[in-house]
Amino acid sequence: MRSRARTAGPRRSRTFRAAAVAVTVAASLSLTACGSGSSGSDGAGGAVKLSFSWWGDASRAKATQDAIALFEKANPGITVTTQYATFGPYNQKLATQIAGGGAPDLMQIDWGNQSQYAKSSTLLDLATGSGTVDISGLDAKFVGSGKDGSKQVAIPFGQATQGFVVNEAKLKSLGVDVPKAGWTWDDLAAFAKQVHDASAGKVAGISDPGSTWPAFQSWLVQHGKPLYAPDGKLGFTEADLTDFWAFCTGLRKSGAATPANVTATLTAGPAEDPLAKGTAAAEWDYDSIFASHVAATKDTLTLVPLPTVNGRTGMYAKPSMLLSVYAGSKHPKEAAKLLSFLVNDPQAAGALGSSRGMFPNVEVRKQQAASATGNNKVVSDFEAASATLLSATPSAPPKGDGQLLTLMQRIYGAVSFDQQSPAQGAKSFMQQAQQILAG
Amino acid sequence: MSTTAALGRSASATPTPAQKEQRTTPRRGFADRTAGYVFLLPWFAGLAVFTLGPLVYSLYLSFTDYNLLQSPRWVGFANFHQMFTADPRFFHAVRVTLTYVVVVTPVKLGLALGVAMLLNRRRRGIGLYRSLFYLPSLLGSSVAVALVWRSLFSQGGAVSNGLGSLGLPNADFINDPTWALPAIILLACWQFGAPMVIFMAGLKQIPSELYDAADIDGARRWARFRHITLPLLSPVIFFNVLLETINSFQAFTPAFVISGGTGGPADSTLFYTLYLYQKGFTDFQFGYASAMAWVLLATVAVLTALMFRLSRVWVFYGDGGNR
């Protein structure tokens, strides 16, 4: 034993050197070699196999899988395999799949990515050819948001509207009234402070909206400004962002909005956010996420329109998610058939409920609203009540929108932890945002 | 000493017949070697396809602008130039990573050596203790442990509540920029089992008569550690330092899982590797990400070379020479 240790000296030093080289190489490889996996869908043996992926939580997944089961029942030759993930990881994976040539036949895409994917010809034109989708029953203006130039590259899968998701049960137990449509930001500040005081500081009135990119968009629209100018550059100034963040910072410092460490959990999604944990009584979100919020808590939730500035809510009908058929799909016809089913069929509407906001087919949407119950009724009532409050839908966001969303989270993170003032944060946001949009 | 020499001689004498046979039949040796290489072929193919190929491709990508969807566009040194002149987050990530490396490597190895020395004795049930201390390493950099860590150290978690019940402020460590990185460092230090096992193997090889001799000379515990254990263990220490340093530079999983991929809160856990990942898979700047990977590779390679150079001074190999 002992003597081997000694005689092995020189040999070991060589082993060390070899090990060091090997380890060094491995160090770089594990970083650079994150390859893309591709999965081919094959329809050998007569039966057609489709793949379909989307982002969302478990409750949306269940609704979608129920709808697909109905489709499979009506089309015995077709089976559909599904995949879902939360928003961030989903988009990362989808981009890799597309680059590797292994994207799913049918995929849910974000409005912010649409033009980028369309320009690299990965999305099938759904208006002509084998992959034609019946869009006659859909609101023409709304379907237009899925166009890239003259090509219909995507179909909106749902219509979402912005609002505040409010924990009605919690407010009741605290003796605070649910805010009413037409409220102002001052009302919101007073309401939030009231919740904070009534709960002895345990519950904040709202989740701090300072890190939420689309919440800033509604604030801007209320002030008569767009998020993006028609040329795709920023439509607001440093002063606008400073104002917004200064307002949020005021709420946060008074305890009306969630503290920085709680706000940071907003990125984790509805299942783990302050509303689900009971640390905030209200939260800015789309009504298409309402069902997911409901699934994450035992309390009764409701929807309230956004606060107003000079009567403007800044709310608009957003194509919340869009469906596209992969241009490289082996079964474009069947994929388009599934897409048609998901946006037109009353059965699909029944299964999907409000899991993606309002159903695309207008006739079916009306029937659905008439017979809705539970969460679906809350959402459809909210949509009906908000219809007159809406601004025009802006044009599709430019490439880079997704990066600005995370930039907002990051810089407001620094602001909320008091590492930067709202003005300093706004300055560095503008610099980095312009860089991103230019690149 | 004489036993060593004798054993050394006998060790070198043992393979002689085999060597002789090889020398007398060179053709068979050639055939054997060819067969060996043929058997190795699958491995070489794998190396070429899965290792060298991507490696070379990523070197090419580091000089391009590549967003996965459009084909790469050659930009020369623009990525490197931007990295070193116009990217504050890059330097921030470097700072976070260096902090981690500088703290984790010595603390983890110190713990590993200390516990290895405690466990380096014959007692009943010592095997159980060794396994227990090794256990966290088995869980390694797994996602599950990072998730557990996140729930332990975030608001309402066991650690926060425990501190709270002791009357201490129950902080939300994971979502506080001051404490998020220390929480990850703690996780890394806790997993000291792998270097501990290597240390134990090294300790076992130190001849006990050296300690006996030192005892007779009246050496105290510290002197024995300083003059016997440390020098004789130095090759093993060197190996562990090298390995842990390189490992620490590559740390990714805990930071990714605990921060939910953001490097937050407020970029406090933005490790170099995590920033690299974000550049690639969130911002879709694969050229830039590849450039970052190569900068990391070059840094680690230079550091490794430096450590080897330095090791000549302090690493003691039993045969007298250090090469």
Among partner residues B54, B207, B319, which is closest to A10 by beta-carbon distance?
B319
Q: What is the pLDDT of residue A219?
A: 94
Report d(CA B160, CA A213) in Å as an integer. Answer: 31
Work out the pLDDT band at B90, boundaries 50, 70, 90. very high
Q: What is the pLDDT of residue A34?
A: 37
Do the chains contact at B267 and A414, CB–CB below 8 Å? yes
Q: Which residues of chain A does B255 touch, with a Cβ-Cβ cutoff of 8 Å?
A: none
Work out the pLDDT band at A375, boundaries 50, 70, 90. confident
Do the chains contact at A9 and B267, CB–CB below 8 Å? no
Whether pLDDT at A173 is above 60:
yes
Among partner residues A5, A32, A264, which is closest to B264 by beta-carbon distance?
A264
Q: What is the pLDDT of residue B320?
A: 56
Handedness of CA A370, A376, A378, A383 (dihedral sign): negative
Among partner residues A10, A33, A417, which is closest to B323 by beta-carbon distance?
A10
Q: Which residues of chain A does B243 touch, with a Cβ-Cβ cutoff of 8 Å?
A: 19, 23
Instruction: Say how many CB pairs under 8 Å bridge A and B.
Output: 157
A77 against B16, higher pLDDT: A77
Report d(CA A357, CA A134) in Å as an integer. Answer: 20
Q: What is the pLDDT of residue B141?
A: 63
Q: Per residue in A37-86, pLDDT tens?
A: 333 344 344 689 999 999 988 888 999 999 999 999 999 889 999 999 98
Work out the pLDDT band at B265, boundaries 50, 70, 90. confident
Q: What is the pLDDT of residue B289?
A: 95
Q: Per residue in A306-320, pLDDT tens?
A: 999 998 999 998 887
Q: Report the Cα B29 to chain-centroid distance in Å.
A: 38
Among chain A residues, the shortest Cα distance to B204 is held by A2
Name which of B209, B284, B299 to mutate to probe chain A: the one with the most chain A Cβ atoms within 10 A of its Cβ: B284
Name which of A31, A87, A110, A435 to mutate to probe chain B: the one with the most chain B Cβ atoms within 10 A of its Cβ: A31
Q: Per residue in A99-146, pLDDT tens?
A: 888 899 999 998 878 888 888 888 999 988 888 888 888 888 788 888
Report d(CA B164, CA A333) in Å as an integer. Answer: 61
Joined tokens for residue A159: 């219509």
Joined tokens for residue A274: 């302050």
Report d(CA B3, CA B36) in Å as an integer. Answer: 37
Among partner residues A99, A406, A417, which is closest to B177 by beta-carbon distance?
A417
Whether this model's pTM surpasses 0.90: no
Q: Which residues of chain A does B282 touch, with a Cβ-Cβ cutoff of 8 Å?
A: 88, 92, 402-403, 406
Do the chains contact at B262 and A6, CB–CB below 8 Å? no
Q: Per residue in B131-166, pLDDT tens?
A: 888 888 777 667 888 888 888 888 777 787 777 777
Q: What is the pLDDT of residue A59?
A: 87
Among partner residues B51, B68, B265, which is closest to A96 by beta-carbon distance?
B68
* pLDDT, chain A, mean: 85
Whether pLDDT at A212 is above 70:
yes
Q: Which residues of chain B does A267 touch, with a Cβ-Cβ cutoff of 8 Å?
A: 260, 262, 264
Q: Which residues of chain A does B249 touch, with a Cβ-Cβ cutoff of 8 Å?
A: 27
Handedness of CA A185, A190, A196, A199 (dihedral sign): negative
- Report the complex ipTM: 0.73
Do the chains contact at B55 and A410, CB–CB below 8 Å? no
Q: Mind telling me how many Å the CA of B294 is from chain A's nearest CA?
A: 7
Q: Mind telling me how many Å the CA of B1 is from chain A's nearest CA?
A: 9
Whether pLDDT at A19 is above 60:
no
Q: Which residues of chain B does A413 touch, with a Cβ-Cβ cutoff of 8 Å?
A: 264-267
Do the chains contact at B262 and A410, CB–CB below 8 Å? yes
Q: What is the pLDDT of residue A86?
A: 86
Do the chains contact at B300 and A24, CB–CB below 8 Å? yes
Q: What is the pLDDT of residue B224?
A: 87
Rounded mean pLDDT, B170-176: 77
Among partner residues A24, A30, A120, which is closest to B301 by beta-carbon distance?
A24
Q: Per residue in B50-82, pLDDT tens?
A: 999 999 999 999 999 988 877 889 999 999 999
A18 against B171, higher pLDDT: B171
Rounded mean pLDDT, B197-215: 89
Whether pLDDT at B319 is above 80:
no
A213 against B164, higher pLDDT: A213
Choose from A83-97, A179-193, A255-269, B155-169 the range with maximum mean pLDDT: A179-193
Do the chains contact at A98 and B54, CB–CB below 8 Å? no
Among chain A residues, the shortest Cα distance to B288 is held by A32
Do the chains contact at B205 and A120, CB–CB below 8 Å? no
- 3-state SS, one letter per residue, for chain A: CHHHHHHCHHHHHHHHHHHHHHHHHHHHHHHHCCCCCCCCCCCCCCCEEEEEEEECCHHHHHHHHHHHHHHHHHCCCEEEEEEEECHHHHHHHHHHHHHCCCCCCEEEECHHHHHHHHHCCCECCCCCCCCCCCCCCECHHHHHHHEECCEECCEEEEEECEEEEEEHHHHHHHCCCCCCCCCEHHHHHHHHHHHHHHCCCCCEEECCHHHCHHHHHHHHHHCCCCCECCCCCECCCHHHHHHHHHHHHHHHHCCCECCHHHHHHHHHCCCCCHHHHCCEEEEEEEHHHHHHHHHCCCCCEEEECCCEECCECCCECEEEEEEEEECCCCCHHHHHHHHHHHHHCHHHHHHHCCECEECCEHHHHHHHHHHCCHHHHHHHHHHHHHHHHCECCCCCCCCCHHHHHHHHHHHHHHHHCCCCCHHHHHHHHHHHHHHHHHC
